[in-house]
Structure 1
Amino acid sequence: MRNLAVLLIIGLTVYCVIDVIRSTTHERLGVHPALWVLLIVFVPLLGPLAWLAVRWSRRTAAGPDSPSAPRRATGPDDDPDFLSRLDDDRRRADPGASDDAPPAA
């Protein structure tokens, strides 16, 4: 049971260090990431919990439309401009093909 607790603390520490490195200055309250990493590593349970509290409060306070909010990557098939360019390219390449016909392999 004690080994499980140690592994959980190590996992939380590794997660928080990676999260600090990937965070923005706004999410870190303007503090240099090295200072956060030192706090997380040298104060085993309180450091990661402090980081998670700060990160959670900054990300939820910012809202989903703020510039500091993490952006989700979208695929090109979610972009209507990209899809229309694909259709235009396909029509130019084979002007006799109908839009309902599957592409020739």
Structure 2
Amino acid sequence: MLRALVYVVPIALAIFALIDLSRSLPEERAGLRRTLWVAIIVLLPVLGPIVWIAVSRNSRAGSAPARPRPLPPMAPGRGPLRPPTRRPGPVAPDDDPEFLWRLEQERRRAAGEPPSEDQPPA
């Protein structure tokens, strides 16, 4: 079992580093091209992936607030997917001015107060 770890750990480390490299931003590569990083990771079995992980994590920690990385397109062969469009307007009912106006009118009716004269927001 321990003999297998000698082979499995470097391969898993290299695969992790290559996937992380493929998703990295140019600022995270310490000024080196992606192809040079691939060569370092592949040709230096344990040291290469460890160097990549250290360099990329250090540059991510030293940068401004964390930015989400763009996701790759999920439909291969069909071109890039468009980001989901959000419909304009409130997200939740309690952010909807018309809903809040109706709620206030119902509250007034239940309390026996006359409804307000103002119109619902447009």
2:29·2:56 contact (CA, 8 Å) conserved in 1?
A: yes
2:29·2:55 contact (CA, 8 Å) conserved in 1?
A: yes
Does residue 79 of structure 2 align to residue 70 of structure 1? no
What is the rounded CA distance, in whole Å, between the counterparts of 1:43 and 1:9 in structure 2?
Answer: 10
Instruction: Tell me the CA shift for residue 32 of structure 1.
Output: 1.2
Q: Report the structure number with the largest CA radius of gyration.
A: 2
What is the rounded CA distance, in whole Å, between the counterparts of 2:20 and 2:37 in structure 1?
Answer: 10
**What's the % identity of the aligned pairs?**
34
Cα distance change of structure 1 residues 61 and 6 upon mapping to structure 2, 3 Å threshold: same
> Map of 1:1-105 to 2, 5 A cutoff?
1-63=2-64, 65=65, 69-71=66-68, 81-83=90-92
What is the rounded CA distance, in whole Å, between the counterparts of 1:11 and 1:24 in structure 2?
Answer: 22
What is the rounded CA distance, in whole Å, between the counterparts of 2:58 and 2:91 in structure 1?
Answer: 36
Q: Aligned-residue CA RMSD in angstroms? A: 3.0
Write out per-residue CA displacement over residues 8-27 of structure 1, whole angstroms, 9 at most, x where no aligned residue.
11001000001011100000
2:90·2:96 contact (CA, 8 Å) conserved in 1?
A: no
Gaps of 5+ in 1: 74-79, 99-105
Q: Which has the higher helix share?
A: 1
TM-score, scaled to structure 1? 0.63
Instruction: Tell me the CA shift for residue 34 of structure 1.
Output: 1.1
